[in-house]
A and B are shown apart, each in its own frame.
Chain A
Amino acid sequence: MNPERLLLRVKNPAWYSGGELNSVVKDKATVKTRFAFCFPDLYDVAMSHLGIKILYDILNRRDDIWCERVCMPAPDMEALMREKNVPLFGLESRDPIRDFDFVAFTLQYELSYTNVLGMLDLAGLPVLAAERSDDMPVVIAGGPCTVNPEPLADFIDLFNIGEGEETLLQLVDLWQECNGNKKEFLQRADRLESCYVPALHDKSVKVRRRIVKDLDSAPYPEKLIVPNAKVIHDRVSMEIMRGCIRGCRFCQAGMIYRPFRQKSPEKMMEQIKKLCESTGYDEVSLTSLSSSDYDRLPEFADLLLDYCTPRKINLALPSLRIDNFSKELLDKLQAVRGASLTFAPEAGTQRLRDAINKNITEEHIFNSCRIAFEGGCDSVKLYFMIGLPTETDEDILGIADLAQRIVDFYYQIRTKKGGRGLSVTISLSTFVPKPFTPFQWEPQISMDEIHRRQRLLKDAITSRKIRLNYHDGKTSVMEGIFSRGDRKLGKLLLCAWKKGCQLDAWDEHFRYDLWTEAMEECGIRAEDYAGRRYDYDEELPWDVIDCGVSKAFLVREAKLAQESKTSPNCKEKCLGCGVRKICGGDVCDPDNL
């Protein structure tokens, strides 16, 4: 049945219709390789993601490749597809993806893993790699979660570790060279530096994360697909740099996207102009892990404002850090929009901020608040974590205390009387230990302890100006299990998915009861994964991957954390994290950062 016939019966037909501006339609008779780029979540999340747009563009620049987008259907669409036997299809051609050459998943977060199984099954493919025959597509995966590929090793034929800009095309070339012989392809691909074929790989050979050395010369799309329906981030995204100099000890992105590489303002302006012209978007967002560490930010901000202001284009800068937040910069951005200030101190006391190496002091925080409040800002958003290694109740109470002192400070210095006054929102998440961070050996706190610490903070907040948002912690525990999981979790994943777990990142679809059932059946306990302190000497499931940062560096940092001692950032001093061996000293030279 043509999927079109189902569309008027579902809530968001534009998620499945295709036909968006700048989507790429080719003649299938003239292409050699068909590639299904699968984002294992709903369309509005998928279409907000920058990586998929970069890789879609790179693949489709080649005349002999047709890359199409595939998203996880919402439950209403999935039910209809199953009822009417409509297999999962590419949005561009509406052809079933089981007839494609590649079915590729991007793994952005652990709670999307069940969707991978769901999408394979909806495509009409066996979910287990071992049960797929040689004439079925090669199922590959990339993205940040693949730095620990083991939990998905039963389902994926090949993991491609690291940045895909160059390696994806190499894989397609190899596929064409092998004339679509999957066995031969997998054997040869497994020998490539960045590829991991779980069924074949010799574990003594490390798989090395690939990086792009020069972002200015890396391909960047000139056109972006403009969704017909509204999606979460409906705007031009400009990646201004990759990697982060900061080295916060809990942060996986700060470790696995090293080294720090910046794009030039000139190149970015050229790309932004093209993108605004080809999309008609009225917002540009700068994407990075810490935009204010960008060296030429003031100069770039001027160029941006010169371009955006007369064209009525808004600027979004989602990842500004507070410590080097300047009045001048704020003024410039305020010229465009924004009366809200966002900080991520992550911890409530200086002692704990030192332990996690979040080098922000109260002085920084209050300086930034002063600038913002004097500029008329009356809303502050604060991000904190509970359950960080070495955390005590004092640190948690410190969160309430800090928020209260921000409120008091506002009323001391506020310029305008009346109105609603200040609103402070605290967003509280739970620490999840992640591979390739100095905290990769640390246990996550238990569910009971998550609840106790949340209540402790809740009770400590007395001002009605302060709002506290948090999740109940169940999803954090699942995330904790999978982030450091081993191959045994494949069984759990399959069992939970068969029971109906899917779209786990969505509160309304997350079924902790089913996960608990599945864990009992499979004999898997949270305390053996999320809740366990891994030993420095033990072999870790992700040891087969070489991400660049060395274990010796991570251990050094972990020990400093125990003593609540900070480390300098990459610009101040090179800590010898090890990433220079995968990128060369020319890319990662502390003197030139």
Chain B
Amino acid sequence: MIRITFKKQSTAIYMSHLDLMRCMTRALSRAQIPVKYTEGFNPHPYLVFAAPLALGISGEREYFEIKLTEPMEHDEIKSRLNATFPQGITVTEVCESDSDFNEIESAHYTLFVEGKTAKDWEDFFSAEEIFAEKKTKRGMETVNVKTEILSASAKDAEGGVEIALHLPCGNRRNLSPLLVQKTFAPNEEIFYTATRLRFCDKTGADF
């Protein structure tokens, strides 16, 4: 397995996870990477993403993996792909995979919320319970955001507040920074940006 590390920024953040998969499939085809296809009636490249990134969130260190049918230099893969992406997607590293995406347990994010202060965040976060409505496959569910958040710290930034968030991420538990944002600043007029910085394994070490 070849692991590809990439950034998703700028206008690319408006791609949904499905859009991104389609984009990567096409990029691999344009770059003529000898990628292995799935068997079956509707073959498509064998692509595995570390964790979906919701529309609207930037990614600093995202991963996906492919299988090759014949070897290709890692630098060659990187430069070929980088020559053919839409604006906002950049491959930063190509390497052999040495771990399993299932080991991902959490991720670090920064959330910038315009017009709010660190004090606003502290007032919000000091509550014992913070309930939010979360859309799941089974319908709407109420979650206690407070207990889900692994850690959070806020500091005032130009025009708003910058919050560092450590949130569960992966197959077992997951909390979107957008849900935190929506609960903290429910007025939809409020402008925000969210970035996923990196993934962690169960020990909290960088993945």
Interface residues of A (CB under 8 A from B): 5, 7-9, 13-14, 17-21, 226, 228-230, 277-282, 312
Contact = CB atoms under 8 A, between A and B. Distances in A.
A272 B74 CA distance: 30
B84 A228 contact: no
Given A13-B55, A226-B86, A280-B29, A312 B37 contact: yes
B171 interface: no
Q: 9 closest A-B pairs (Cβ-Cβ)? A: A19-B11, A280-B26, A19-B87, A280-B29, A13-B14, A280-B30, A21-B86, A17-B11, A14-B14
B19 A14 contact: yes
A17 B22 contact: no
B25 A228 contact: no
Interface residues of A, dominant DSSP: loop
Contacts of B11: 14, 17-19, 228
Contacts of A230: 18-19, 22
Nearest to A22: B86
Given A228-B19, A229-B19, A19 B29 contact: no
B27 interface: yes
Contacts of A280: 25-30, 84
Contacts of B12: 19, 228
Interface in B1-28: 10-12, 14-16, 18-19, 22-23, 25-28
Interface in B87-123: 87-88
Contacts of A9: 188
B160 interface: no
B56 interface: yes
A174 B94 CA distance: 52
A7 to B, nearest CB: 6
A362 to B, nearest CB: 35
B131 interface: no
A230 B21 CA distance: 11
A19 B19 contact: no
B191 interface: yes
B30 A279 contact: yes
A569 to B, nearest CB: 38
A8 B84 CA distance: 26
B26 A20 contact: no
A268 B108 CA distance: 50
Contacts of B10: 19
Nearest to A9: B188
A422 B26 CA distance: 36
A229 B15 contact: yes
A21 B85 contact: yes
22 contacts: A7-B14, A8-B56, A8-B192, A9-B188, A13-B55, A14-B15, A17-B11, A17-B14, A19-B86, A19-B88, A21-B86, A226-B86, A228-B11, A228-B12, A228-B14, A228-B19, A229-B16, A230-B22, A280-B25, A280-B28, A282-B25, A282-B29
Contacts of B88: 19
A230 B17 CA distance: 12
Contacts of B26: 226, 279-282
B186 interface: no
Contacts of A229: 14-16, 19
A328 B119 CA distance: 74
Given A13-B55, A281-B26, 8 more contacts: A17-B11, A17-B14, A21-B84, A226-B86, A230-B19, A280-B25, A280-B28, A282-B29
Contacts of A21: 84-86
